[in-house]
Chains A and B, each alone.
Chain A
């Protein structure tokens, strides 16, 4: 109880609240601009967070996570273009509402549903994290290796249309993680006699290169006219959302939030799936399903509640197992490790204060999002007007500064450019990026677990098959892989 109060006390200070508010504002602006994903937004904030005290940094990241999830709905509603993939379902009814002159109502419903979803996601995180961490404490190296294998199989299978391409992407991420010192013998690997690579590839260079720069390069595929075009958003109407209108959506929001949080727990699926599943569920149980897509509040509330609830769910595997479930949590791992925090089950025993800090940050991010969003909707609506031709060069400078700032080394910015080009080539050839980033983050741990397990078993792989939890996880990975191959074949045959 004392630890909880101490953590709460840390958050009731001006710098921390300002950090959360800054994160929320940056997140909403980033999420509101089509082409800037939540992961890109958080990756760009990561270098800043390294210079802040831990609670402020955690508040900044959580604020940005929640803010960007809501921000995506602004452009979805006003210009019929989702700012983030997670807001894709919001366009279906949000834009129709805006066309009816009810954009203000739609944006407020999106905001309140997002905050409710964020809150319910946090409660689900609280309920699931502790019991799961108790189970995870029984894990040894073989179980960890098998668990990471299962996670990679899930992420590789779900994040793209081809399991093989997902696996190749994951293997590439693991290979990039081997650059630098060998964790057991201290031998240099793939350093090309360059002292800058002795510590391995910098996490920031990988995150910013693969997410932000590759995204900027993808935007360059548009014509100059498209890049220079200013979006012409519908204006924000001043019609208010009544309490009754919001209250009518309570079951819809609750159900969608639970769906979102549970989908968030599963590795690799993420917000876009969650919002479409919850939208479909809301339509299925609606008394008037035929009105979905014509501009109704239910169609805005369901996806928005779900995509913010994903944030809480996605933190469950991160905090309890130390394994990021999606790209945003992979970046959060980088931030936590940079602050000397190692996510995993031991955190619940040795560093419970940090766990509480994360819970409180997520909760306060929702509260701040409500306040900032309520006041700032008309201001944030202007963000969608920004030209990409102005935005891309400025974001590139931030990418350079972000990677340089970590070690004051221009080599890291050069690495970022090379990795950005690699990410772009992969994207162009339909290789998913998420498995690469997640496997890069867990690469060192996966290698250690594998080598420790083999040393424990006198170099026999039977150790993975004779321990029950490990066996179940490996069988799970195999079953899932077979299922994904069959599903992909079926989809290919249908196409």
Chain B
């Protein structure tokens, strides 16, 4: 039953996203002059329509299954199996937020310093306890990556105030 509720939710989300794309994103993001038989928005609109239909079928078939089981009512989305436990995704959210923050500061601190600091943070965050060991591992790893990519492949990394 939990799967049916999840599918119903997924189907509804797909439908809403497709509606937003069709009525807002496509008109706003694909602008062209003149009129042709196959405009640049033809293919995206076709995809969004197909996606919306698939989402609707997914939602309807799940709703039919729930109705058969007598579970389709107004309290469905308040039931425990329908609730998304956002707390269980805190680690993921923190990881992604810290990753974006790392990418923002990499331009100021430079690749080497920002990466060493970030790697130490991640190692400690994932359960390592010995900070000296984390620091050593991070310095060696980042130095190896920096040397391989900058010397062998001639990639210029963001330099920051330290110059590397």
Within A401-460, the residues touching B (CB, 8 Å) are 401, 404-405, 408, 410, 413-414, 417, 420-421, 424, 429-431, 447, 450-451, 454-455, 459
Alpha-carbon distance A414/B97, docked complex (angstroms): 11
Q: Mark B88-120, 1 if CB is under 8 A from A, else 0.
A: 100110011001101100110000000100110
Q: Mark A211-250, 1 if CB is under 8 A from B, else 0.
A: 0000001001100110110000000000000000000000
Indicate if A192 sits at the interface (CB-CB under 8 A).
yes
Q: Which residues of B contact A187 (CB under 8 A)?
A: 30-32, 40
Partner of A217, one of B3, B6, B95, B102: B95
Nearest B residue to A452 via CB reads: B38
Q: How far is the CB of B125 from chain A (nearest CB, A)?
A: 8
Which one of A28-36, A71-79, A177-185 is at the B interface?
Answer: A177-185
Q: Which residues of B contact A401 (CB under 8 A)?
A: 145, 149
A189 & B44 in contact (Cβ 8 Å cutoff): yes
Alpha-carbon distance A408/B31, docked complex (angstroms): 29
Given contacts A184-B38, A228-B126, whether A165 and B58 have CB atoms under 8 Å apart is: yes
Nearest B residue to A216 via CB reads: B95
Q: Which residues of B contact A172 (CB under 8 A)?
A: 51
Q: Mark B107-151, 1 if CB is under 8 A from A, else 0.
A: 100000001001100110011100000000100011001000100
A393 & B123 in contact (Cβ 8 Å cutoff): yes
Q: Mark B52-74, 1 if CB is under 8 A from A, else 0.
A: 00110110010000000000000
Q: How far is the CB of B85 from chain A (nearest CB, A)?
A: 11
Q: Which residues of B contact A392 (CB under 8 A)?
A: 122, 126
Given contacts A225-B127, A390-B128, A393-B122, whether A429 and B10 have CB atoms under 8 Å apart is: yes
Alpha-carbon distance A388/B54, docked complex (angstroms): 38
A451 & B32 in contact (Cβ 8 Å cutoff): no
Given contacts A185-B36, A187-B30, whether A451 and B155 have CB atoms under 8 Å apart is: no
Q: Which residues of B contact A195 (CB under 8 A)?
A: none
Alpha-carbon distance A60/B73, docked complex (angstroms): 56
B43 & A48 in contact (Cβ 8 Å cutoff): no
Q: Which residues of B contact A220 (CB under 8 A)?
A: 91-92, 95
Q: How far is the CB of A338 from chain B (nearest CB, A)?
A: 14
Q: How far is the CB of B55 from chain A (nearest CB, A)?
A: 7
Indicate if B160 sits at the interface (CB-CB under 8 A).
no
Indicate if A168 sits at the interface (CB-CB under 8 A).
yes
B40 & A182 in contact (Cβ 8 Å cutoff): yes
Name A's B-contacting residues (CB within 8 A): 48, 51, 162, 164-165, 167-168, 171-172, 174-175, 178, 182, 184-185, 187-192, 217, 220-221, 224-225, 227-228, 388-390, 392-394, 396-398, 400-401, 404-405, 408, 410, 413-414, 417, 420-421, 424, 429-431, 447, 450-451, 454-455, 459
The 4 lowest CB-CB distance pairs between A and B, nearest first, are: A393-B122, A182-B40, A389-B126, A228-B127
A-B contact pairs, 10 of them (CB 8 A): A167-B50, A171-B51, A185-B36, A189-B40, A220-B91, A389-B126, A390-B123, A392-B122, A396-B99, A430-B6
